Amino acid sequence: MLENSTCHRHRRRLTTSGTETGVPAKGDFIQTVLRSGFPPPTMAVRVGVLGATGAVGQRLIQLLDPHPDFEIAALTASDSSAGKPYQEAAKWRADSPIPADVATMTVGATEPDAVPTDVDLLFSSLPSSIGAAVEPDFCEAGYVVSSNSSNARMAEDVPLVIPEVNADHLDLLEVQQDTRGWDGALIKNPNCSTITFVPTLAALAEYGLERVHVATLQAVSGAGYDGVTSMEIIDNAIPHIGSEEEKLETESKKLLGTFDGASLEHHEVEVGASCNRIPTIDGHLENVWLETTQSVTPDAAAEALEAYPGLDLHSSPDPLIHVFDDPSRPQPRLDRGLGNGMAVSVGGIRSSTFGLQYNCLAHNTVRGAAGASVLNGELLLENGYL
């Protein structure tokens, strides 16, 4: 099981404009109750999962049932699953039982007419070719879609968001609604390997990001259940993951870019990536070499990484970044569960010929996929988009 993190110290809290405020005091809540005579309503937002039977879909169900803000009201998959009870359609492989209320839900077709109209938010974990075909239809039909799939991540009017890094990019949704005329909206989380190293760059950005080299050691779950066969990966490493390098190189610059209220300017940092598949189940480990404009010592880097704040959102861990003194950590099996699978961990920080060198790790199907979408859903809710 993953470690549970409920402690939220030193958090940033965002308003719709993305500015920082203090967390409301308990007294504010009591005044609200006294003025109205009733406690404020606490209705959960009804949500659906597109691609609910897959590896990421199952993680989404684990994270959403239960969830304080969201209630699962619709599940969809391919035509071969539609019409079946979820427990029959899904080959459940997650490390906790299928929630009883989800097990008996009927899987629907992945089309807007098959999703109840009182569902506000859809988490999408569809293959990207299917996402590209159907996500715009859902947005046009008025649904807000928080998607894992790689389609449209680099579109100019689609926010690509890691809430702790670039929550202000969410307001790109206003540009999106103007340009596309959708009643709904589309927000993306980045690729699982991008999510692992970009928070560390954000934490070190004050030193001036100039050039990054990153080599990944990626777990097999990142390829989905049918992605890599045991005969291919046991006793092996595969030094190629289709289109992965390009995703790390482009998505990182978009995430670290600047949004001026109308358009997004990508960061100028140069990023070079090399991606490898290794026989771990979950948790992407990455080796990073970072060149900065100002020199940074390993101690100063460790301090900046540890101090980088999380958010006051249910799924944002505290601390966001764990720093290990032990140079043999982080390790996938030991450290992927930190912060309920939502933390990034860093170790082996040292000065090298090519600038600062360190290793980082995140759980690829939680922080890198399902948890990232859920956190984006929490951000949408917090900022009034639901």
Q: Which residues bind ligand NAP (CB under 6 A)?
A: 51-57, 77-78, 80-81, 110, 125-128, 130, 148-150, 191-192, 221-222, 224-226, 364-365, 368-369
Is there a catalytic annotation at residue 284?
yes
365 close to 56: Cβ distance less than 8 angstroms: yes
Residue by residue, DSSP assigns 135-150 as: HHHHHHTT-EEEE-SS
> Which residue, 11 or 277, has its beta carbon nearer to ligand NAP?
277
Pick the closest to residue 296 from 366, 361, 200, 363 (CA basis): 200
Q: How far apart are CA 152 and CA 372, in angstroms?
A: 16
Q: Which amino acid is at 67?
A: H
DSSP letter assigned to residue 238: B
Q: How far is the CB of 183 from ligand NAP (least distance, A)?
A: 22
Pairing state of beta strands 70-77 and 108-109? Answer: parallel
DSSP letter assigned to residue 110: S
Q: How far is the CB of 161 from ligand NAP (least distance, A)?
A: 14
Q: How far is the CB of 292 from ligand NAP (least distance, A)?
A: 28
Q: How far is the CB of 138 from ligand NAP (least distance, A)?
A: 12
Q: How far apart are CA 301 and CA 272, in angstroms?
A: 21
Decide: helix, strand or coil at residue 369: helix
Of the candidates 284, 314, 322, 363, the residue annotated as catalytic is: 284
Q: How far is the CB of 89 from ligand NAP (least distance, A)?
A: 6
Closest residue by beta carbon to ligand NAP: 54
Q: How far is the CB of 380 from ligand NAP (least distance, A)?
A: 19
List the end-to-end C-alpha distance of the chain, in Å, as a whole number. 31
Q: How far apart are CA 116 and CA 134, in angstroms?
A: 16
Q: Which two tokens stand for residue 276?
A: 């490898």
Of the candidates 139, 169, 192, 363, the residue annotated as catalytic is: 192
160 close to 169: Cβ distance less than 8 angstroms: yes
> Which residue, 223 or 288, has its beta carbon nearer to ligand NAP?
223
Q: Which two tokens stand for residue 320?
A: 């966001």
Cis link prior to 309 (omega < 30° from 0)?
no
Pairing state of beta strands 121-124 and 45-50? Answer: parallel
> Which residue, 250 or 383, has its beta carbon nearer to ligand NAP?
250
Q: Which two tokens stand for residue 285?
A: 């480990």
The residues assigned a catalytic role are: 192, 284
